[in-house]
């Protein structure tokens, strides 16, 4: 029984971390209509930023500033935000399909930079030397994982509340207005470019938070953690959950991650050994089918966006 | 969703409790002990590594299992994705109750498994193929709790022997092509230093990324210094593309290969006619007649020589883990098993071979309170305090049917040579 | 330096073929098709199958043409592969893109193409295995053009360059001089207006997919000839092909041709200043640079 609970705590932690990243994407895509094809770059900036700032000094690469944990995590989020600001200023004016391609390229370049810049990020062997916060006091057994899960759930809830408030606010209406009809929004004297940039950076900071927690949980990050696969996974979670609905985004994250791990578990248990080599490919084909299937038959996702009608009809800003 | 997951998990739990009860009440072979394997089975070169581990398990079961129990290896795919690998390892430890984890292959997957699963859960982790120097550093800092071992000789040996080949062949200038991952970057740094120590000029040191549209530019760059030889720290996939390009542009056929290119695919796709003056390096089996047992048994089982990255290492990792479990006794915990590794890789112990008979022999010795020296597929494996292994080395070349040994370097010769470089 | 430029042009020819098809699809259907590069894989693998069939059925075909590593069998296989790939492209449109197009917006199309690419790539891996395949085990040695500076060219690559130039020129002439070309452009500019004027939209879309698929197959085969065939061809080429398309400007055939050469050249020349480990980033840097200077690419027209 202890084993089962221990595993569920572990599973829920990872799923919750991914759910935070999905919430960040939901702000960008679900609410603002920005196609971010490089989620993993901002996630990675958060993870690398946190570990570089909070780790112990290493002889072969930069960082190891040993900042206290909350500052390190915040630093990771700032790193993601800075990256998003640069990328946003350069690319958000582009046509939407150009944006998808450019951000995809950002992620490739980010992974590539982390892999090669040994002085910065330790190169392909990644960053270690990070001590999980309070490990000395709590050990690193079940109790630690349980408390860390509570910490992650707290942040997931905080992010969710923040986004719900944001989406319900005049700013949120503005985001949807830009998504639906940019020209109309502009004619009302709004500045779509600026608003979009703010939404893009906010969403990326949230992804950075998820990345920071991910790096903390594993106390390690390497270029293998920031491959484009993660972008696909996060997107699949959002599409399945329902773009535009924060609760759907969280459910999508849990559903897809459960399906991903359970299918690996099931294949290892029930598929003959000769079939194992196909397991990875089959999983990817399935995830592709789920994505395409959802777009064909239920494009609004399992939990569709609830259309909020403003009570007054006259936004304050 | 939760519900579904729960019921599935409950099912496993029920099964494992059932098995545990059987284990408690029955005699030899009526019980089952699980070990976990987290390997990239969905990658072309990952699957044979997993098959070889299963092969070792089968041999041990044929010898009557470990501590009277049959071994069941539960294999999980990592997809070379750290998240997936860590989750699989955690599930193996928590749900299947394994005390030993074999894997992973990539350092980027092995490392988070070690820091977030093996060490916190007190489980022994034995990797066949993770080469990053980060593991040594982590162990030096005392953060592995002595739970981590790897049978992949540190890249230092590979690099030193490669440099020695170049010096012995009389090459005065060499270009290096290396895989742009943790192993390749390490290898490149080390061998460039070794070449320099031997007075050999490195004309170019070119990183080869996975899956590039063309390696022509990289190869052109390596060609530009007109080197007398080419050093290849690559895997078969990109190695094939880069070497074909190299040859077609008139590059020299004097090539020195790391053990990762000891692959039938590479030999066939490049063509044996161009590999006549190519020499490879690898860690080696000891010079005892019984050492051929592994190769013979492997051919018997798989119809081909054990050529491919990490196969011999995977076999040894599995065998040593199982021997250590035998030495630690029934129901031993991960740290007890890890502590027993020394008694099965003891240089002063009774030599045992790497096969069914060897395992049975080891059991008798261990039961009598003795220690054994495991003579594995990669040599007389001997771990240092950080769980790193050193081994004798061999120089090989490609032949019609596979590979053949050109030169053998004993452990002392390797150590002396490395010392002479510094 | 000169060798790097030459190499760049030769690699660029393959990218140009891929980008030409992509630019037409993107112009007409207005979405970034992340699955286009998978069509190269389909082309390369179907040619592999037909090549093996022809060689075993008619051994005469297995002889090489002149100095090329190309055989008559592979030449025929290539033509069949173009047909198969074109047909697959139409099939994918029927099964996925058309339905999403009718239902959702352009961005759903982008994500549908993500998903489709994942399916195609892994299905190919399941069918053909993950190992490297080659059309021919032989290595064709490069011809020395000049000793000082050393200039080397492979005959296969020259042939690729020649064929790519001829095809793209022919395509451009068709599009700029014939009624079909006008119709195509009309549809891309304003689908509704074009339909009012009696142009069959569905037919035009099918034609574009067939052309795009055929060119992609050609690029895939040439890629397989000069490199190797693996299920990850699509993943590896998607960014360079997008870069070539964007550099040239979406909708411009000449732009795609030039874009391919620019990306190929830049990737090769970049190695003179950057360590080779950074080469996967080069296409991205080119995209960024071009879009900052000319937001619609070199030959593209502004479009909302």
Reduced DSSP (H G I as helix, E B as strand, rest coil) percent helix, strand, coil of chain B, to 5? 50, 20, 30
CA angle B5, B11, B16 (to 5 degrees): 125
Mean pLDDT by 10 residues, chain B (422 residues): 41 42 45 92 81 92 91 89 93 94 90 92 92 85 90 83 94 95 90 94 94 85 92 91 91 92 88 93 67 78 79 91 93 93 90 88 92 84 82 87 85 86 79
Higher-scoring residue by pLDDT: B156, A251:
A251
Cα(A261)–Cα(A263) distance, integer angstroms: 5
Residue A225 binned pLDDT confidence (cut-offs 50, 70, 90): very high
Burial class (CB in 10 A: 0-12, 13-18, 19+), B27: exposed
Q: Does C77 touch chain A (CB under 8 A)?
A: no
pLDDT at B27: 42
Give CA separation, B339 vs A50, B37, B48, B334, B336, in Å: 35, 20, 29, 9, 5
Chain C within 8 Å of B265 (Cβ-Cβ)? yes
Instruction: For residue C137, give the nearest of B207, B215, B268 by CB distance.
Output: B268
| Nearest alpha-carbon partner for B131 in B202, B85, B195, B188 | B188
Q: Which of C116, C126, C132 is nearest to C44 (CA)?
A: C132
Identify the helix (H) or strand (E) that includes residue B341: helix B334-344
Q: C193 or C93, which is more confident? A: C93
**Alpha-carbon torsion angle B68, B72, B73, B76, nearest 10:** -150
Does the beta-carbon distance from A219 to B116 stay under 8 Å? Answer: yes
Of 2.40.50.140, 1.20.1250.20, 3.30.470.20, 3.40.50.2300, the CATH number of B155-284+397-421 is 3.40.50.2300
C40: exposed, middle or buried (C-beta count within 10 Å: 0-12, 13-18, 19+)?
buried
A55: three-class secondary structure by DSSP:
coil
Q: Which residues, at least 6 apart from B58, have a Cβ–Cβ distance to it below 8 Å?
A: none
Higher local confidence (pLDDT), C154 or B284:
C154
Does B9 touch chain A if contact means CB atoms closer than 8 Å?
yes
Instruction: Kindly report, as residue ranges, where domains of CATH 3.40.50.2300 are found in chain B.
Output: 30-152+310-390, 155-284+397-421
| pLDDT above 70 coverage of chain C, percent | 98
Residues of B in contact with C131 (CB under 8 A): 44, 265
* Cβ–Cβ pairs < 8 A, chains A and C: 126
* Res A189: pLDDT: 74
Residue C112 φ/ψ region, left for φ over 0, alpha for ψ in the -120 to 50 degree band, beta for the rest: alpha
Task: Give this prediction's pTM.
Answer: 0.89
- CA A268 to chain centroid: 28
Shortest Cα–Cα distance, C277 to chain A (Å): 6
Rounded CA-CA distance A256/A234 in Å is 9
Domain C2-293 annotated CATH 3.40.50: no
C213-227 mean pLDDT = 92
Q: What is the pLDDT of residue A277?
A: 64
Q: pLDDT, tens digit, for every residue of A17-70? A: 999 999 999 999 988 888 899 999 999 999 999 999 998 887 777 777 888 999
Contact C280 B209 (CB under 8 A): yes
Confidence of residue A273 (pLDDT cuts 50, 70, 90): low
The predicted-structure confidence for C35-77, as pLDDT tens digits, reads as follows: 999 999 999 999 999 999 988 888 777 777 777 777 888 989 9
Q: Where do the DSSP E strands lie in A57-143?
A: none
How do B393-398 and B403-409 pair as beta strands? antiparallel
A61-96 in b/e form (b: 16+ CB < 10 A) is bebbeebebeebbbbbbbbbbbbbbebbeebbbbbb
Report the residue count for chain C: 304
Q: Which of C199, C202, C169, C168 is nearest to C186 (CA)?
A: C199
Least confident of A118-127, A196-205, B229-238, B281-290: B281-290
Q: How far, CA to CA in Å, does B265 sit from each of B241, B395, B404, C134?
A: 12, 19, 16, 11
- Find where tokens 């190797």 sit: C228
Helix axes B236-248, B216-223, angle to 10 degrees: 60
Choose among C4, A268, A238: nearest CA to B75.
A268
For residue B82, list chain A residues with Cβ-Cβ distance below 8 A.
218, 222, 224-225
B97 reaches A (C-beta below 8 A) = yes
Nearest CA among B158, B160, B178, B175 for reference residue B229: B175
Interface partners of chain B (CB pairs < 8 Å, 3 or more) are: A, C
d(Cα C119, Cα B84) in Å, to the nearest integer? Answer: 20
Following DSSP, what letter does each residue of B84-108 receive, concatenated?
HHHHHHHHHHHHS--SEEEE-SSHH
Containing A149, the helix (H) or strand (E) segment is helix A142-168
- Under an 8 A CB cutoff, do B115 and A128 touch? yes
Residue with tokens 């230093």: B193
CA angle A183, A187, A189 (to 5 degrees): 125
Strands B389-390 and B393-398: unpaired
C129 touching chain B per CB within 8 A = yes
On whether any CB of chain A is under 8 Å from the CB of B201, the answer is no
Structure-token match 């990243």, residue found = A21
Is there a contact between A204 and A29 (Cβ–Cβ < 8 Å)?
Answer: no
Please tell me the distance from the alpha carbon of residue A307 to that of residue A160, in angstroms, as a whole number: 17
A139 pLDDT above the threshold of 70? yes
Q: Does position A314 have pLDDT exceeding 60, yes or no? A: no
Residue B395 and residue B165 in contact, taking contact as beta carbons nearer than 8 Å: yes
Q: State how far the Cα of B313 lies from the Cα of B376, in Å rounded to an integer.
A: 9
Task: Please count the residues of chain A.
Answer: 317
Cβ within 8 Å, pair A10-B87? yes
Contact at CB, C291 and A102, closer than 8 angstroms: yes
What is the pLDDT, as a whole number, of residue A186? 80
Residue of C nearest to B241 (CA): C227
The residue behind tokens 């998240």 is: B83
Residue-range domain boundaries for chain C: 2-293
pLDDT for the residue B398: 92
Q: Residue C23 is encoded by which pair of tokens? A: 């630019």
Calpha distance C218→C237 (Å, rounded): 14
Two tokens at C223? 């890629």
- Average pLDDT of every residue of chain C: 87
Question: Torsions phi, psi of B179, nearest 5?
Answer: -70, 135
Q: Which residue of A has its CA nearest to B41?
A: A277
Q: What is the pLDDT of residue B124?
A: 96
Q: How far apart are the C-alpha atoms of B288 and B205, rounded to whole Å?
A: 38
Q: In this structure, are residues A118 and C277 in contact, taking their beta carbons and an 8 Å threshold?
A: no
Q: Is pLDDT above 90 for C302? A: no
Rounded to 5°, the CA angle C202-C207-C213 comes to: 125
Residue B288, helix vs strand vs coil: coil
| SS3 call for B308 | coil
Mean pLDDT of C252-256: 86
Tell me the C-alpha to C-alpha distance, in Å, between residue B106 and each of B81, B113, B137, B181. 9, 11, 17, 9
Distance (Å, rounded) from C-alpha C242 to C-alpha B389?
46
Q: Which of C139, C233, C238 to mutate to test the interface with B (most CBs of B within 10 A)?
A: C139
Hey, what are B422's tokens? 């510094």
User: Smallest CA–CA separation between C94 and chain B, in Å?
Assistant: 30
d(C-alpha A78, C-alpha A59), whole Å: 25
C104 and A295: CB-CB below 8 Å? yes
pLDDT of residue B152: 82
- Cβ-in-10-Å burial (0-12, 13-18, 19+) of B220 comes to buried
Task: Work out whether strand B31-39 and strand B100-103 pair parallel, antiparallel, or are unpaired.
Answer: parallel
pLDDT of residue B29: 59
3-state secondary structure of B77: strand
Paired tokens of C26: 């993107």
Per-residue confidence (pLDDT) for residue B286, from 0 to 100: 58
In CATH terms, the fold of domain B30-152+310-390 is: Rossmann fold (3.40.50)
Distance CA B204, CA B223 (A): 8
């Amino acid at each position: 029984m202890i084993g089962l609970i221990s595993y569920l705590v572990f599973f829920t932690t990872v799923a919750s971390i991914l759910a935070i990243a999905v919430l960040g994407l939901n702000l960008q895509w679900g609410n603002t209509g920005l196609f971010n094809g490089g989620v993993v770059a901002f996630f990675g900036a958060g993870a690398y930023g946190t570990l570089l700032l909070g780790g112990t000094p290493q002889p072969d690469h930069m960082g190891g500033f040993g900042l206290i944990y909350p500052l390190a995590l915040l630093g990771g989020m700032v790193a993601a935000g800075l990256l998003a600001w640069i990328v946003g200023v350069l690319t958000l004016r582009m046509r939407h399909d150009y944006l998808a391609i450019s951000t995809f390229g950002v992620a490739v370049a980010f992974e590539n930079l982390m892999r090669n810049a040994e002085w910065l990020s330790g190169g392909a062997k990644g960053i270690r030397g990070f001590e999980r916060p309070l490990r000395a006091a709590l050990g690193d057994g079940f109790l630690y994982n349980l408390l860390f899960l509570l910490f992650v759930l707290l942040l997931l809830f905080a992010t969710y509340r923040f986004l719900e408030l944001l989406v319900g606010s005049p700013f949120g209406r503005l985001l949807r207005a830009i998504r639906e009809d940019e020209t109309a929004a502009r004619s009302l004297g709004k500045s779509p470019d600026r608003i979009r940039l703010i939404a893009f950076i906010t969403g990326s900071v949230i992804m950075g938070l998820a990345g920071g927690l991910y790096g903390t949980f594993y106390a390690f990050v390497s270029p293998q953690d920031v491959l484009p696969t993660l972008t696909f996974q996060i997107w699949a979670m959002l599409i399945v959950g329902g773009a535009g609905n924060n609760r759907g985004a969280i459910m999508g994250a849990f559903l897809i991650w459960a399906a991903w791990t359970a299918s690996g578990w099931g294949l290892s248990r029930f598929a003959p050994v000769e079939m194992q080599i196909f397991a990875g490919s089959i999983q990817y084909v399935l995830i592709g089918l789920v994505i395409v299937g959802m777009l064909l038959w239920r494009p609004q996702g399992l939990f569709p966006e609830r259309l909020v009608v403003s009570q007054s009809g006259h936004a304050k800003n | 969703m939760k519900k579904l997951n729960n019921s599935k998990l409950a099912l496993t739990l029920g099964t494992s409790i059932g098995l545990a009860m059987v284990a408690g009440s029955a005699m030899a072979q009526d019980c089952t002990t699980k070990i976990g394997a987290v390997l990239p089975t969905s990658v072309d070169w990952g699957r044979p590594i997993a098959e070889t581990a299963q092969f070792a398990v089968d041999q041990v079961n044929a010898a009557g299992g470990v501590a009277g129990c049959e071994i069941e290896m539960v294999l999980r795919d990592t997809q070379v994705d750290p998240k997936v690998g860590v989750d699989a390892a955690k599930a193996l430890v928590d749900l299947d109750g394994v005390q030993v984890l074999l894997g992973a292959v990539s350092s980027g997957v092995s490392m988070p498994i070690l820091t977030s699963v093996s060490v916190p859960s007190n489980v022994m982790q034995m990797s066949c193929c993770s080469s990053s120097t980060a593991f040594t550093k982590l162990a030096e800092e005392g953060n592995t709790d002595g739970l981590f071992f790897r049978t992949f000789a540190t890249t230092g040996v590979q690099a030193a022997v490669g440099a020695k080949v170049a010096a012995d062949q009389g090459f005065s200038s060499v270009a290096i092509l290396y895989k742009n991952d943790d192993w390749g970057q390490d290898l490149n740094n080390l061998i460039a230093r070794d070449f320099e120590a031997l007075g050999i000029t490195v004309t170019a040191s070119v990183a080869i990324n996975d899956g590039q549209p063309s390696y022509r530019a990289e190869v052109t760059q390596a060609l530009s210094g007109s080197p007398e030889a080419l050093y290849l720290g690559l895997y078969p996939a990109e190695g094939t593309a880069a070497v074909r390009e190299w040859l077609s542009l008139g590059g020299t056929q004097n090539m020195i290969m790391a053990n990762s290119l000891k692959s039938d695919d590479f030999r066939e796709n490049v063509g044996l006619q161009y590999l006549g003056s190519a020499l490879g390096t690898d860690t080696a089996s000891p010079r005892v007649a019984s050492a051929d047992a592994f190769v013979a048994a492997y051919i018997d089982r798989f119809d081909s020589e054990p050529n491919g990255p990490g196969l011999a290492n995977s076999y040894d990792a599995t065998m040593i883990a199982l021997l250590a479990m035998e030495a630690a006794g029934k129901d031993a915990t991960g740290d007890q098993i890890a502590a027993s590794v020394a008694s099965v890789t003891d240089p002063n112990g009774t030599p045992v071979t790497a096969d069914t008979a060897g395992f049975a022999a080891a059991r008798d010795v261990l039961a009598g309170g003795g220690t054994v020296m495991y003579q594995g597929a990669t040599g007389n494996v001997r771990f240092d305090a950080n769980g790193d292994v050193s081994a004798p080395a061999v120089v090989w070349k490609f032949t019609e049917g596979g590979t053949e040994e050109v030169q053998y370097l004993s452990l002392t010769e390797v150590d002396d040579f490395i010392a002479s470089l510094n | 330096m000169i060798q790097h430029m030459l190499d760049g042009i030769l690699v660029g020819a393959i990218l140009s073929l891929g980008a030409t098809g992509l630019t037409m699809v993107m112009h007409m259907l207005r979405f970034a098709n992340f699955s286009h590069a998978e069509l190269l894989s389909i082309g390369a693998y179907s040619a592999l199958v037909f090549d093996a069939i022809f060689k075993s059925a008619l051994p005469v075909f297995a002889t090489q043409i002149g100095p090329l590593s190309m055989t008559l069998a592979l030449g025929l296989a290539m033509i069949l592969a173009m047909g198969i790939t074109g047909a697959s492209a139409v099939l994918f449109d029927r099964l996925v893109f058309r339905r999403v197009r009718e239902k959702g917006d352009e961005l759903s199309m982008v994500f549908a193409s993500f998903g489709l690419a994942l399916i195609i790539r892994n299905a190919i891996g399941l069918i053909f295995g993950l190992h490297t395949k080659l059309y021919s085990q032989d290595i064709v040695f490069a011809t020395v053009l000049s000793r000082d500076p050393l200039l080397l060219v492979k005959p296969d690559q020259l042939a690729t360059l020649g064929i790519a130039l001829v095809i793209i020129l022919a395509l451009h002439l068709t599009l700029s001089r014939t009624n079909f070309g006008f119709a195509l452009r009309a549809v891309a500019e304003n689908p509704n207006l074009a339909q009012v004027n009696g142009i069959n939209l569905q037919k035009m879309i099918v034609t574009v997919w067939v052309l795009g698929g055929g060119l992609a197959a050609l690029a895939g085969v040439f890629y397989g000839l000069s490199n190797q065939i693996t299920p990850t061809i699509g993943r590896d080429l998607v960014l360079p092909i997008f870069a070539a398309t964007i550099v040239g400007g979406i909708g411009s055939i000449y732009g795609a041709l030039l874009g391919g050469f620019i990306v190929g050249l830049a990737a090769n020349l970049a190695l003179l200043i950057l360590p080779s480990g950074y080469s996967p980033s080069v296409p991205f840097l080119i995209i960024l640079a071009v879009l900052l200077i000319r937001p619609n690419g070199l030959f593209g027209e502004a479009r909302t």
